[in-house]
Amino acid sequence: MTEFLKLKKSNCKNCYKCIRNCPVKSIRFSAGQANIVSDECVLCGQCFVICPQNAKEIVNDVEKVKVLLASGQPVYASLAPSFIANYDGIGIEAMEKALKKLGFAGAEETAIGATIVKKEYDRMLAEDKPEILISSCCHSVNLLIQKYFPSVLPYLADVVSPMQAHCLEIKRRVPDAKTVFIGPCVAKKDEAARYPGATDVVLTFEELTNWLKEENIALEQEPASGEQGKARFFPTAGGILKSMECSQQDYTYLAIDGMDNCIAALKDIERGGMSHCFIEMSACAGSCIGGPVMEKYHRSPVRDYAAVSHYAGKQDFTVNMPDQQHMQKQHTPLYRNDRKPSEAEIQAILRRIGKTKPEDELNCGCCGYNTCREKAIAVFQGKADMTMCLPFLKDKAESFSDTIINNTPNGIIVINEEMEVQQINKAALNIMNIRLASDVLGEQVVRILDPTPFLDVKQYGHEIRDRRTYLAEYKRYVDETIVYDKEYRVLICIMRDVTSEETERERKEAFSRQTVETADKVVDKQMRIVQEIASLLGETAAETKIALTQLKESIDHE
């Protein structure tokens, strides 16, 4: 299948919103990027509608239409009946004027084809008497049945869609004409490609609007009214039934809209027990006026329904019914690559994401899958990875964080802006001789520490880094760091216990002082001894001098 929905990788932010809203989980995640699995997608457009980063885009086919217009062949536009809601009450006449300015030969309402289709439905119920008949107007519903409920295919009406019926009617009247369908649905692009010959190109309302803006063509405001056109109700929930005769008394007629409701109904049909019913199925909630392109930019269900209701006529368009063989459409099964894992393989994957027992399977849906088992199957099929499990990642992150915090030798205290203790680790409890964390959690920090440094850091924004502090109450020395996390609005205090270092330093200082004092005493004593020796030597020298002098004199006298 050609990819009509594409991913803008730079915009995909790994939020998983698309997989949470995809009714058939046809999205694969790789390297944090969402990729649409083409053979599983039913082109309902929900991922396009809900993507908060506009990472999904619809393939633009305006250039293809410009090529058709340049070919010289007459090109006719088939406008989906929801146009009256999308363009705020502008009727077919004003739309045709604008489209002719773009180069179209003419523009008509797809409701003409819808009239043909609904008449064929009435005929089938009256003549063929099928057990169950499901409308085949919505291509997303057709894809859903072909890919996920092939056993229900016998009940799907083998009738062309209003788009195809109208384009074929145009080509019957103008044999060399080319046709362009314009509507609110991305799935119609696939339908035109999958069943060639009826519709040559499909544009969305968004593509048309942007093209008109580029060409500076304004839609003229004209009163939108209509006498004919009961089939203009087709784009509303129950609109097909509203336009049909519904005259078969033994049939139950019901309308189902929204993909989840359609899936539930198809499961009911698979289980059996239903008979003699006609089911109008629309993939979009509210039917086509809730289509993905309209819903993305123009979502107003009450006003849109009122616009369609006001524009719809009480009588049918006058149409020439084609031969039945020209209205037939074959719906064949479209098989998917959905290899299922064994129970042992599922359990192995569950264990890898921390689901070791049934109560671990929270089935929270954060990953986008309804159950943990569905997620495990998606992992096996390569559509999901382990990191998509939020509880698993949260537990893993908390476990990793707790392991680090509780095993670091540094004391860590976290307090909020109200100066209340939010977290405290074992090392901090030991530093402050606190028995249990619960004794201080939620309490004011003043109970255990001086709050002044915390208040200063919060008020002035100046962080404290490795400031040595003496905690007199605990007789501890710590190197204290206090930082303020403005994003999470908490203050974090990290304390490194340096009591032993400080004690050793003080011991060394005391030893040094004692050594200096001892040295001073030794020096003083030595000086005293020297002085005493000097004094004694002085006295001895004087006595010797006197004796020698006397000896000299006595010798001289002789």
Any idea what the CATH number is for the domain that residue 51 is in?
A: 3.30.70.20
In Å, how far from its chain's centre is CA 332? 34
Mean pLDDT of 475-502: 93
Residue 223 has pLDDT above 70, yes or no: no
Only one residue has tokens 């092939």, namely 150
Q: pLDDT: is 381 or 296 the higher one? A: 381
pTM for the model: 0.74
**Structural domain count, the chain:** 4
For the record, the structure tokens of 393 come out as 């990642």
Residues 262-281 pLDDT 10s: 999 999 999 997 889 999 99
Only one residue has tokens 């537990």, namely 395
Mean pLDDT of 37-58: 89
**Domain assignment of residue 286, yes or no:** yes
For the record, the structure tokens of 452 come out as 């002044």
**Domain assignment of residue 185, yes or no:** yes
Q: What is the pLDDT of the chain when averaged over all its residues? A: 89
Q: How confident is the model at residue 554 (pLDDT cuts 50, 70, 90)?
A: confident
User: Domain check: are 77 and 203 in the same one?
Assistant: yes
Last residue of a domain, one of 382, 407, 432: 407
User: Domain check: are 473 and 375 in the same one?
Assistant: no
Q: pLDDT: is 386 or 245 the higher one? A: 245
User: Domain check: are 261 and 289 in the same one?
Assistant: yes
User: Domain check: are 274 and 153 in the same one?
Assistant: yes
**Domain assignment of residue 91, yes or no:** yes
Alpha helices in 272-329 (DSSP H): 292-297, 301-311
Best CA proximity match to 141, nearest among 236, 242, 259: 259
User: Domain check: are 166 and 272 in the same one?
Assistant: yes
User: Domain check: are 84 and 105 in the same one?
Assistant: yes
User: Domain check: are 24 and 82 in the same one?
Assistant: no
Last residue of a domain, one of 361, 387, 407: 407
Residue 165 has pLDDT above 50, yes or no: yes
Q: 152 and 131 in contact (C-beta within 8 Å)?
A: no
**Domain assignment of residue 554, yes or no:** no
Residue 297: the pLDDT is 59
Q: How confident is the model at residue 8 (pLDDT cuts 50, 70, 90)?
A: confident
Q: Which domain holds residue 171?
A: 60-218+226-316
**Domain assignment of residue 546, yes or no:** no
**Domain assignment of residue 432, yes or no:** yes
Reduce the secondary structure of 21-87 to three states and give it as a string. HCCCCCEEEECCEEEECCCCCCCCCHHHHHCCCCCEEECCCHHHHHHHHHCCCCEEEEECCCHHHHC
Residues 354-372 pLDDT 10s: 888 888 788 887 787 888 8
Q: 197 and 173 in contact (C-beta within 8 Å)?
A: no
- Helices and strands, number each (H, E), in the chain: 20, 16
User: Domain check: are 10 and 39 in the same one?
Assistant: yes
User: Domain check: are 269 and 140 in the same one?
Assistant: yes
**Domain assignment of residue 113, yes or no:** yes
SS3 337: coil
Best CA proximity match to 40, nearest among 393, 301, 338: 338
**Domain assignment of residue 517, yes or no:** no
Residue 1 has pLDDT above 50, yes or no: no
Which residues partner with 471 through β-bridges?
A: 476
Percentage, residues of the chain above pLDDT 70: 96
Q: pLDDT: is 122 or 376 the higher one? A: 122
User: Domain check: are 86 and 175 in the same one?
Assistant: yes
User: Domain check: are 197 and 284 in the same one?
Assistant: yes
CA distances in angstroms from 361 to 21, 211, 355, 365, 384, listed in the order given: 21, 50, 6, 11, 17
Last residue of a domain, one of 253, 286, 316: 316
User: Domain check: are 245 and 375 in the same one?
Assistant: no
Residue 17: the pLDDT is 87
Q: 294 and 264 in contact (C-beta within 8 Å)?
A: no
Residues 181-200 pLDDT 10s: 999 999 999 999 999 999 99
Residue 490 has pLDDT above 70, yes or no: yes
Mean pLDDT of 368-382: 86
SS3 208: helix
